[in-house]
């Protein structure tokens, strides 16, 4: 009997959605959601959709390279694989080329979209169905202090109870002053999540974390204060700091997660589908962290609705996911087709 769940063909297209304003971090400035949208068709005619956003300073890819890898490497190798056997399919996907995690994530998300249709369940329930909704933060990008304070106040008025603050472009003392000003402006009930994006040295981080801790602010964690490969120093910093440390750029793969938790370098780990290659790999990372007693956050690049929807569903599916940072959908400058979001049965739109 012919296998109707064989991948028959797949196509890609480029997507661009302008942002309301530039998004600025220590690593780069983004003005639009740029993504590759992938459509995978099975032998039975079922169609699954995925998407991925490149990030040259984090994942090391560009829009052109991502599309080329999908068109020239991943799609040819995955055509003919069957969704009847998911583990061999996913292992083939991860092994068909070194790196290129975003391109792999696009294909992985399309596969899970198809699995949801095959089994007639939402992605949230397919993956575990732990929760029905989570509240995302909203990220304040780097800018003038007065503008960052104003942005924070506006976001609180819109209903956000957690704010992620990008820092690292200015001297440590200025960053601390900015965070303090925001905290005073929004009040102690608002949780602040700080993201340094690897900008500090060890000495700077010690000084900055000590000052922030002494200020008594409502800070949930400080994300990636040191360069990604400095696990030993991160572990020492974690022991010295009065504030929890989250790792992001230090953890791309399950092996990275194992190294990080074994080094006792993290209180939390940030899982991103674009970093790890999709839902299948993200599940492994979360399981490693959960076994080690390390809760996780699910974050994102500045991504398209299809990949944000998948990330929301993944986060809602697992008890060990304590935080989400999936706010890029709020940053767009025009209406978005909500079909992908509704199809996976998530609650993306609750701030």
Please give the annotated binding residues, written as ranges: 195, 223, 248
User: Residue 172 and residue 176: Cα distance in Å, rounded?
Assistant: 6
In the chain, % helix, strand, coil (3-state, to 5) comes to 45, 20, 35
**Other residues' Cβ atoms within 10 Å of the Cβ of residue 7:** 22
Name the residues annotated as catalytic: 166, 272
Evaluate whether 112 touches 38 at the Cβ level (below 8 Å): no
Tokens at 299, concatenated: 């974050």
Q: Which helix (H) or strand (E) holds 156?
A: helix 145-157
Q: Is the dihedral of CA 191, 196, 201, 202 positive or negative?
A: positive
C-alpha span between 120 and 126 (Å, rounded): 9
* Binding-site sequence positions for Mg(2+): 195, 223, 248
Rg, the chain, Cα only: 20
> In the 8-state DSSP scheme, what is residue 53?
-
First and final C-alpha spacing in the chain: 48
Enumerate residues 6+ apart whose C-beta is below 8 A from 64. Answer: none
The answer to whether 272 touches 290, Cβ cutoff 8 Å, is no
Give the SS3 label for residue 124: helix
Q: Is 349 left (phi over 0), alpha (psi -120 to 50) or beta?
A: alpha
H helix or E strand, kind and range, residue 118: helix 101-119
Neighbouring residues of 112: CB distance < 8 A, sequence distance ≥ 6: 48, 123, 126, 278, 279, 310
Map residue 52 onto helix, strand or coil: strand
Token pair recorded at residue 57: 């300073």
């Amino acid at each position: 009997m012919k296998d109707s769940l064989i991948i028959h063909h797949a196509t890609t297209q480029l997507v661009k959605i302008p942002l309301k304003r530039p998004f600025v971090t220590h690593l780069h400035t983004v003005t639009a959601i740029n993504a590759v949208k992938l459509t995978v068709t099975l032998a039975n005619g079922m169609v699954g959709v995925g998407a991925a956003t490149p990030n040259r300073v984090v994942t090391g890819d560009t829009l052109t390279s991502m599309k080329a890898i999908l068109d020239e490497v991943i799609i040819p190798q995955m055509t003919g694989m069957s969704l009847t056997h998911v583990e061999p399919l996913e292992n083939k996907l991860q092994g068909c080329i070194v790196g290129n995690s975003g391109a792999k994530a696009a294909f992985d998300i399309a596969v899970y979209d198809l699995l949801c249709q095959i089994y007639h369940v939402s992605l949230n329930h397919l993956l575990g169905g732990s929760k029905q909704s989570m509240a995302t933060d909203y990220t304040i990008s780097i800018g003038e202090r007065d503008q960052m304070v104003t942005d924070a106040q506006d976001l609180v008025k819109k209903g956000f109870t957690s704010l992620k603050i990008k820092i690292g472009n200015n001297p440590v003392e200025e960053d601390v002053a900015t965070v303090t000003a925001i905290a005073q402006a929004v009040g102690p009930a608002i949780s602040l999540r700080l993201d340094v994006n690897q900008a500090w040295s060890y000495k700077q981080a010690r000084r900055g974390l000590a000052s922030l801790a002494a200020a008594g602010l409502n800070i949930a964690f400080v994300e990636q204060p040191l360069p990604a490969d400095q696990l030993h120093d991160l572990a020492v910093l974690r022991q010295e700091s009065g504030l929890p440390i989250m790792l992001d750029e230090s953890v791309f793969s399950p092996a990275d997660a194992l190294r990080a938790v074994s080094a006792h370098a993290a209180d939390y780990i940030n899982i991103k589908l674009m970093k790890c290659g999709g839902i299948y790999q993200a599940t492994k990372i979360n399981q490693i962290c959960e076994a080690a007693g390390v809760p996780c956050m699910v974050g994102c690049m500045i991504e398209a609705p299809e990949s944000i929807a998948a990330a929301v569903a993944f986060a809602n599916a697992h008890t060990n996911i304590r935080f989400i940072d999936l706010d890029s959908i709020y940053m767009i400058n025009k209406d978005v087709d909500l079909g992908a979001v509704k199809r996976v049965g998530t609650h993306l739109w609750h701030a």
